[in-house]
Structure formats: structure tokens, C-alpha cells
Chain A
Amino acid sequence: KAGVTQTPRYLIKTRGQQVTLSCSPISGHRSVSWYQQTPGQGLQFLFEYFSETQRNKGNFPGRFSGRQFSNSRSEMNVSTLELGDSALYLCASSPSHTLNTEAFFGQGTRLTVV
């Protein structure tokens, strides 16, 4: 069974641009969550989608948005990029309708904003 796939693995963007990251969950998993990981803040929850609906949202500005498609694939978008958005963005999928089960993580997308 293929794992969680995130594309691209690395990305360099300029301040002010926007970026879209993609996550393909494990087949059959309907819950997808996104995290931002930085050395200063650690792992912070961005949002979680289940069956194309956003169920939970972390404390991030509206520049961060996401969506989930009918095949459970998910994308997150960051508009008007800031230097502080440089981070490793991790996607995790779960087979359950709640997050209270094991989450499987992708390898992440390393975003660098210059």
C-alpha cells in the first residue's frame, strides 16, 4: 500500500507569491490534516479535512487555506507569502472519521520563501 505522498518535496518562492502544496493520502483514508513545522514553533496544526469538509482549523491567518477533493486528495494554499512561512509542511492521513487514531505522515514539502 502506498504511503502518504506530498508534492513537491522542495519549493522556493518569493515573498508576495502564492503557493499550492499537494497531498495524496493512503488509499481508503478520508481524513487529511496539515501541519507546519519550524525550528522555532515546532509542529503546529493547520487544518483537517474529512469528506471534503474542513472540520478543524488551527490558529493561522486566512492566507492559509486548503481543500479536499472527492478522492480524498488535499491541497493547501498559502497566499501572499512571507519570509516566516518558510517551513516544512507535513500532511497526515487517517483512516478514521476522527483524529483519535493513528495518523500516517508524508515526507513533507520544504518551502523556502526568499
Chain B
Amino acid sequence: AQSVTQPDIHITVSEGASLELRCNYSYGATPYLFWYVQSPGQGLQLLLKYFSGDTLVQGIKGFEAEFKRSQSSFNLRKPSVHWSDAAEYFCAVGARGGSYIPTFGRGTSLIVHP
């Protein structure tokens, strides 16, 4: 079964600074990978996804993520954080082929200082 680890429970950055949120997965083959964002009291919104092809994936709101097979990682990055990016970020992994039960990481809470 697949699993996801988000090592950082909280991340604090200053507005305008760069951001990297870590995600490591465990799966026997190349998985489907997702990053979601959740604002307080809201559902989850998909930021980006990796299925195949280019390992650098561009998403919405200026986010990008890079799939590194050798490190089993799918870290999320943004060059300049805005105060509105403060939210909870979830990495998720899914198995290829057929129906599957997706696995979410525990989430990383992003705090943005002005």
C-alpha cells in the first residue's frame, strides 16, 4: 500500500520569501501525485498533479512541484509567497490502474508573516 509523509507540520515564511513544502511517498511503482490546498473552513482545491512526462509540474497560483523518483519526493515550491497563501497543504498519492484508495499526507500548515 502507498503512503505519504509530509515531514513539516508547520512552516513559517515571510511574505515575498520563497517556499518549499516537502512530500515523500512510498509506492512500488510510479504513482499519481497531487498537491491540494485547504483554506480554513473550506474544502480542498487541487494545485497541481503529476501523472507522467515532465517531472516539473506547473500548477495554479504560481506553484510548481518536482517529481524526483530517486528520492521518492514531490516537493511543492513557490518563488514568492503572498499572505493569501496561508493555508493547509496536502500531498496525496494514488496507485496507477483501476480504482484505488487515495492516500493523503497529514498536511503542512503554512503561516505567512507580513
Contact = CB atoms under 8 A, between A and B. Distances in A.
Q: Say if A and B assemble together.
A: yes
B46 interface: yes
Classify chain B: how many residues form its interface, as a range.
20 to 34
Q: Output the residue of B32, B90, B102 with the most chain A CB within 10 A.
A: B102
Interface in A61-108: 90, 92, 98-100, 102-108
Contact of B46 (A43, A99, A104): A104
Classify chain A: how many residues form its interface, as a range.
20 to 34
A50 B43 CA distance: 21
Given A105-B44, A106-B43, A107-B42, A45 B32 contact: no
Contact of A100 (B100, B104, B105): B100
Contact of B43 (A45, A48, A105): A105
A58 interface: yes
B109 to A, nearest CB: 11
Query: Helix, strand, loop or mixed for chain A's interface?
Result: strand
Query: Helix, strand, loop or mixed for chain B's interface?
Result: loop
Interface in B23-54: 32, 34, 36, 41-46, 49, 51
Q: Output the residue of B34, B43, B45, B98 with the most chain A CB within 10 A.
A: B43
Contact of B99 (A4, A98, A102, A104): A98
A99 B45 contact: no
A89 B103 CA distance: 16
27 contacts: A6-B43, A42-B104, A42-B105, A42-B106, A42-B107, A43-B90, A45-B103, A48-B99, A50-B99, A55-B99, A56-B100, A90-B43, A90-B44, A92-B43, A92-B44, A98-B97, A99-B94, A99-B100, A100-B32, A100-B94, A100-B96, A102-B49, A105-B43, A105-B44, A107-B41, A107-B42, A110-B41
